[in-house]
Chain A
Amino acid sequence: MFGLDKKDTRMLLVVAILTLCAPFILNPFPTDSAMAQFNAGYPDLMQRFVIFGIFAIGFNILFGLTGYLSFGHAAFLGVGSYSAVWMFKLLSMNVVPAILLAVVISGLFALLIGFVSLRRSGIYFSILTLAFAQMSFNLAYSVLTPITNGETGLQLTLDDPRVLGVSATADGSIPVTSLFGLEMRSTFEMVVGPWAFQFNAGYYLCALVLLAAFYLSIRIFRSPFGMMLRAVKSNQQRMNYTGLNTKPYTLAAFVISGMYAGLAGGLMASMDPLAGAERMQWTASGEVVLMTILGGAGTLIGPVLGAGFIKYFENIFSKINDTVLHNWFNFMPDGLEDFVVFIVHPFIGKGWHLTLGILFMLVVVFLPGGLVEGGQRIAKWVKGRKDKDGSSSATKTPAE
């Protein structure tokens, strides 16, 4: 289907089902139950899942395929957000032109930065991208205040021109973002028994964009172009010696991943029309690196998994507090219960970043392939056990 082989089609379908049914899947607990606080099926959070998924997919096209570790990708996300908000201010509240502009501008920005940074590789490339991103961040905070509105962040106001729309609605408030009239914030709530499922227009737009982005990344991975990028990763010197100029390929990958980041930024602004400089800070770039590595760099599904995983647990962990823990462990004897809660306490609530850091280190040390590799190992182990139980199938060791 769509020019994909059977395995890829299946993967695309799984992702499609997961994203489209997310309001159900992420809402397993009834609204009144004690576990309801662990539901993640509300629009704001689901939007974040898919938007960061897009961001991570884009980052993976650069890092996963070519091995160039960029520590400044958040700059493109920031640039995308700013250009989208400017489109809302100047043209209309329709999200399509805003997202398009975000992609184009961040693509141009990536072209510029990539052209310079890709002259070096390895750690130098990381430092160069980091330097460029920090530079944009500092500029957005200081000199570029007329464009970025500095620390406050860029917001919509009542006296923006909005040539194709209205400056203010009839009742004098700022108009909301929409897709040809369909408001992004409009939500349909379906109540089934004790459950309440929310279907948000903005989320579904993001989900469709994610699917398109995912499809495109599969095509890139399977194309001759993707093959070339992998060749760059495994042995760039050899590519150069065969008389092949790798620069256009790496630059194209850089620009594509920059455009993905811009797309994510544009979507972010479309869901909530404001943009701040902190989106460009290098810790934000670090976050997308974490997502990609945690999920599995160089795999198709990994970045999406990583983004979902981090954003989901960030949300859940921040909500757990000592009372919840005491509830969980109250089957234990009192002293032991207090002890367990005391041990777990630093890792929950505000300690989420500590958990994330430890998890990330464990993944880098023991599981360089991320969650995907973990899944494969478990699958292999299960399969291996089955084989042992059944017929003694000879394990074929390939000749070295």
Chain B
Amino acid sequence: MDAILLQILNGLDKGSAYALIALGLTLIFGTLGVVNFAHGALFMIGAFCAVTVQRILNLSYEVVDETQKDFLGNPLKVKATYVESWFGPEMGGAIIDWAVPIAIIFAIPIMILIGFVMERGLIKHFYKREHADQILVTFGLAIVLQEVIKYFYGANPIQTASPEALSGVANVGALFGTEIFYPVWRIVYFFFSVVIIGGIFSFLQFTTFGMVVRAGMADRETVGLLGINIDRRFTIMFGIAAAVAGLAGVMYTPINSPNYHMGMDFLVLSFVVVVVGGMGSLPGAVLAGFMLGILEAFASMNEIKSFLPGIDQIIIYVVAIIILLTRPRGLMGRKGVMEE
């Protein structure tokens, strides 16, 4: 029982990353009809936003501390961060400690801006072209973004710590009367993704803007004929999708040290997730994300690996192949969207 609960937790936290990226991919696909291979790169850029914010907060200068002497008897030079000197040691220390959550505030406008630039600058010109061309150009863009990040941050993974208060483990099992210890940050990640997903869904469901966007997804031409500038709204949705991917990246940094090709690694899996959930279906993407995450977690249990060796490596792909061949529209695909 404990083992099963633990695997479900593992799956939920991996699945939330899949679900967030797949949600963004589906938003872009459903609105603009563009297959975005650069979405993994957006995830990666988000992660590096967190790295940057942490670095900026840690900028420091040297002060001479008269009370301490180094081994030569000279006054010791101590590094002091600007943040600490502005806000005082206690407040400043807390700000530095909470760098990753603070990065969220900065990441949202940056990612939206990147999304706008990408859509207006490049993707706009590819609406009318084949899906193959869209894949190719965004694939090229992904390479470029990845290499730019590599140029500035190097090729090695960069450790980014979560806040002290959230870095321990918690007894999740207490809810069920057993003992399961699980890293707090991963639980935070799961709830964070639930909030984001809930936010996106309610935004689309309960606001006028969302209603127009949904109408545009169903029939773009008619909405345009009603005198609504649907292109501008879709551009904004692209920015939002980029922000979702970026936030997924920001929060993922303490779980896995970001490196420049983390986006590509996630991208392949997220595409599989989107296809399994059904192209253009938002609930499908979220459902498939969590489902595949949990399946993957269960497949890596030793009990299962012992009679099906290697299943943990391929389970997602096997499921994807089976679903694609038996349910052409994916789990929850809409009728008429990319059925060929």
Asked if B317 and A346 sit within 8 Å, CB to CB, the answer is no
Asked if B272 and A364 sit within 8 Å, CB to CB, the answer is no
Known contacts A123-B35, A127-B320; decide if A361 and B141 are in contact (CB<8 Å).
yes
Asked if B132 and A368 sit within 8 Å, CB to CB, the answer is no
Asked if B139 and A286 sit within 8 Å, CB to CB, the answer is yes
Residue among A128, A282, A358, A364 with max Cβ neighbours from chain B (10 Å): A364
Asked if B317 and A135 sit within 8 Å, CB to CB, the answer is yes
Which residue of chain B lies nearest to A353 when distances are taken between CB atoms in the complex? Answer: B147
A87-111 Cβ-contact flags toward B at 8 Å (1 or 0): 0000000000000000000000000
User: Which of chain A's residues have a CB closer than 8 A to the CB of B324?
Assistant: 120, 124, 127-128
Asked if B340 and A351 sit within 8 Å, CB to CB, the answer is no
Asked if B340 and A141 sit within 8 Å, CB to CB, the answer is no
A135-156 Cβ-contact flags toward B at 8 Å (1 or 0): 1001101111000000000000
Asked if A361 and B140 sit within 8 Å, CB to CB, the answer is yes
The reply to whether the CB of A303 lies closer than 8 angstroms to some CB of chain B is no
Could you tell me the distance in whole angstroms from the C-beta of B147 to the nearest C-beta in chain A? Answer: 4
Which residue of chain B lies nearest to A293 when distances are taken between CB atoms in the complex? Answer: B136
Known contacts A121-B340, A361-B141, A364-B140; decide if A127 and B272 are in contact (CB<8 Å).
yes
Contact pick for A132, options B144, B148, B317, CB 8 Å: B317
The reply to whether the CB of B167 lies closer than 8 angstroms to some CB of chain A is no
Contact pick for B144, options A116, A282, A293, A357, CB 8 Å: A357
Asked if B135 and A120 sit within 8 Å, CB to CB, the answer is no
The B contact surface, by secondary structure, is helix
Q: How far is the CA of A143 from the CA of B151 in the complex (A)?
A: 36
Which residue of chain B lies nearest to A120 when distances are taken between CB atoms in the complex? Answer: B324
User: Which of chain A's residues have a CB closer than 8 A to the CB of B125?
Assistant: 365
Stretch at the interface among B3-11, B217-225, B306-314: B306-314
The reply to whether the CB of B55 lies closer than 8 angstroms to some CB of chain A is no
User: Which of chain A's residues have a CB closer than 8 A to the CB of B142?
Assistant: 357
Known contacts A289-B136, A354-B148, A357-B144; decide if A116 and B310 are in contact (CB<8 Å).
no
Asked if B275 and A138 sit within 8 Å, CB to CB, the answer is no
Asked if A357 and B143 sit within 8 Å, CB to CB, the answer is yes
User: Which of chain A's residues have a CB closer than 8 A to the CB of B317?
Assistant: 131-132, 134-135, 138
Q: How far is the CA of A354 from the CA of B142 in the complex (A)?
A: 10
User: How big is the A interface, by class?
Assistant: 35 or more
Contact pick for B340, options A122, A132, A354, CB 8 Å: A122
Question: Which residues of B294-338 have CB atoms within 8 Å of chain A's CB atoms?
Answer: 309-310, 313-314, 317-318, 320-321, 324-325, 328, 338
The reply to whether the CB of A119 lies closer than 8 angstroms to some CB of chain B is yes
Question: Which residues of A62-96 have CB atoms within 8 Å of chain B's CB atoms?
Answer: 67, 69
Q: List 15 A-B contacts (CB under 8 A).
A: A119-B325, A120-B325, A122-B338, A123-B35, A123-B131, A123-B338, A124-B324, A128-B324, A131-B320, A141-B313, A354-B143, A357-B143, A361-B137, A361-B141, A365-B125
A166-184 Cβ-contact flags toward B at 8 Å (1 or 0): 0000000000000000000
Beyond A120-B324, A135-B314, 17 extra complex contacts between A and B, CB < 8 Å = A69-B132, A116-B325, A123-B131, A124-B324, A124-B340, A126-B132, A127-B320, A132-B321, A139-B313, A139-B314, A143-B309, A293-B136, A346-B151, A354-B143, A354-B151, A361-B144, A364-B140
Question: Which residues of B108-143 have CB atoms within 8 Å of chain A's CB atoms?
Answer: 122, 125, 131-133, 135-137, 139-143
Known contacts A346-B151, A357-B140, A365-B125; decide if A123 and B268 are in contact (CB<8 Å).
no
Q: How far is the CA of A339 from the CA of B275 in the complex (A)?
A: 47
User: Which of chain A's residues have a CB closer than 8 A to the CB of B325?
Assistant: 116, 119-120
User: Which of chain A's residues have a CB closer than 8 A to the CB of B83?
Assistant: none
Q: How far is the CA of A289 from the CA of B132 in the complex (A)?
A: 11
Asked if B340 and A120 sit within 8 Å, CB to CB, the answer is yes
Q: How far is the CA of A68 from the CA of B144 in the complex (A)?
A: 25
Known contacts A116-B325, A127-B271, A138-B313; decide if A69 and B135 are in contact (CB<8 Å).
yes
Q: How far is the CA of A69 from the CA of B321 in the complex (A)?
A: 17
Which A positions have Cβ atoms within 8 angstroms of B? 67, 69, 116, 119-124, 126-128, 130-132, 134-135, 138-139, 141-144, 282-283, 286, 289, 293, 346, 351, 353-354, 356-358, 360-361, 364-365, 368
Known contacts A120-B328, A124-B324, A351-B151; decide if A356 and B143 are in contact (CB<8 Å).
yes
The reply to whether the CB of B212 lies closer than 8 angstroms to some CB of chain A is no
Could you tell me the distance in whole angstroms from the C-beta of B332 to the nearest C-beta in chain A? Answer: 16
Q: How far is the CA of A212 from the CA of B70 in the complex (A)?
A: 75
Asked if B151 and A142 sit within 8 Å, CB to CB, the answer is no
User: Which of chain A's residues have a CB closer than 8 A to the CB of B338?
Assistant: 122-124
Contact pick for B310, options A122, A143, A361, CB 8 Å: A143
User: Which of chain A's residues have a CB closer than 8 A to the CB of B133?
Assistant: 364, 368
Could you tell me the distance in whole angstroms from the C-beta of A109 to the nearest C-beta in chain B? Answer: 15
Q: How far is the CA of A142 from the CA of B310 in the complex (A)?
A: 6
The reply to whether the CB of B285 lies closer than 8 angstroms to some CB of chain A is no
Q: How far is the CA of A134 from the CA of B266 in the complex (A)?
A: 12
Q: How far is the CA of A255 from the CA of B321 in the complex (A)?
A: 19
The reply to whether the CB of B286 lies closer than 8 angstroms to some CB of chain A is no
User: Which of chain A's residues have a CB closer than 8 A to the CB of B310?
Assistant: 138-139, 142-144
Could you tell me the distance in whole angstroms from the C-beta of A309 to the nearest C-beta in chain B? Answer: 15
Asked if B147 and A143 sit within 8 Å, CB to CB, the answer is no
Known contacts A121-B340, A127-B271; decide if A360 and B140 are in contact (CB<8 Å).
yes
User: Which of chain A's residues have a CB closer than 8 A to the CB of B132?
Assistant: 67, 69, 126
Q: How far is the CA of A116 from the CA of B323 in the complex (A)?
A: 12
Asked if B141 and A357 sit within 8 Å, CB to CB, the answer is yes
User: Which of chain B's residues have a CB closer than 8 A to the CB of A286?
Assistant: 139
Which residue of chain A lies nearest to B320 when distances are taken between CB atoms in the complex? Answer: A131
Could you tell me the distance in whole angstroms from the C-beta of B310 to the nearest C-beta in chain A? Answer: 3
User: Which of chain B's residues have a CB closer than 8 A to the CB of A121?
Assistant: 340
User: Which of chain B's residues have a CB closer than 8 A to the CB of A123?
Assistant: 35, 131, 135, 275, 279, 338
Q: How far is the CA of A187 from the CA of B311 in the complex (A)?
A: 46
Known contacts A124-B340, A141-B313; decide if A131 and B136 are in contact (CB<8 Å).
no
User: Which of chain B's residues have a CB closer than 8 A to the CB of A354?
Assistant: 143-144, 147-148, 151
Asked if A357 and B147 sit within 8 Å, CB to CB, the answer is yes
User: Which of chain A's residues have a CB closer than 8 A to the CB of B139?
Assistant: 286, 289
User: Which of chain B's residues have a CB closer than 8 A to the CB of A67?
Assistant: 132
The reply to whether the CB of B99 lies closer than 8 angstroms to some CB of chain A is no
Q: How far is the CA of A140 from the CA of B272 in the complex (A)?
A: 20
Q: How far is the CA of A119 from the CA of B340 in the complex (A)?
A: 11
